[in-house]
Amino acid sequence: MQQESQQQQPQFQSYQQNGPQFNHGTHELFDLHEVLAGQINVLDQFMLFRTFIQDQKLTAILDRQYNFMLEYYNITCESFRTGQKPLRETATYLIPDMTQPVYGMHPAPPKKPNQSLADIKDAGISAHMLGLIKSHASLLAMATPEVTNPVVRRVLASQIQNFVEMAYEIFLYQNQHGYYQVPQLAAPFMQQMLDAYTPAAVGPQMPGNNGNKSFH
């Protein structure tokens, strides 16, 4: 048995010394491929959407988010390939001219699928943009806890909040133009929902741990 363990030990050590670029688990490799492929898909879709946008404000949002995502794609790709800290620092996405949402509902025509390319409007384009950003934010949130490489994990984790901000920026654009309406409950029901939970007392009496009990 000692001879077998001695023969196996050098193999394990040589595996550990393959260098930082191999500092990834198998599950992580597949997740990162899915994340990077998803980022490419979002970028390519944004490029296609740009040809149909009519509102310059929506074009500015698309361009700002595209450039931000492209930079993050490069950072993710670099840290994934090298296993080390990327040369470029991660950034924070900021929404310029933040506004308050408009609450309430107003009459709007029913929706239906486009009958031709001439029917493509900014309402639909912005909805597609929002869906892509929200989906990728979910993908990042699911993939990040599976990443064993500490650098790559932090790069992915830092993107989640940024994608949330980008999604909120598109929501605000849709909300301001009446594409995304936000209904509210009547005041008594709203208050009832707000009062449904209350903070817990600090320092609750925790039960003892079964591991500390002695059995005879």
Tens of each residue's pLDDT in the chain, 216 residues: 555 545 554 444 444 445 555 677 787 889 999 999 999 999 999 999 999 999 999 999 999 999 999 999 999 999 998 888 888 888 999 999 889 999 999 888 888 999 999 999 999 999 999 999 999 999 999 999 999 999 999 999 999 999 999 999 999 999 999 999 999 999 999 999 999 999 988 888 888 887 666 555
The CA distance from 11 to 104, in Å, is: 66
The CA distance from 105 to 183, in Å, is: 6
pLDDT digits (tens, 9 = 90+) for 25-66: 787 889 999 999 999 999 999 999 999 999 999 999 999 999
Contact 103, 73 (CB under 8 A): no
> Residue 5 has what pLDDT?
47
> Residue 15 has what pLDDT?
45
> Residue 211 has what pLDDT?
66
Domains and CATH numbers, the chain: 21-98+119-196 (1.20.1260.10)
CB contact burial 110-137 (16+ within 10 A = b; e otherwise): eeeeeeeeeebebbbbbbbbbebbbebb
> Residue 10 has what pLDDT?
46
The CA distance from 24 to 214, in Å, is: 42
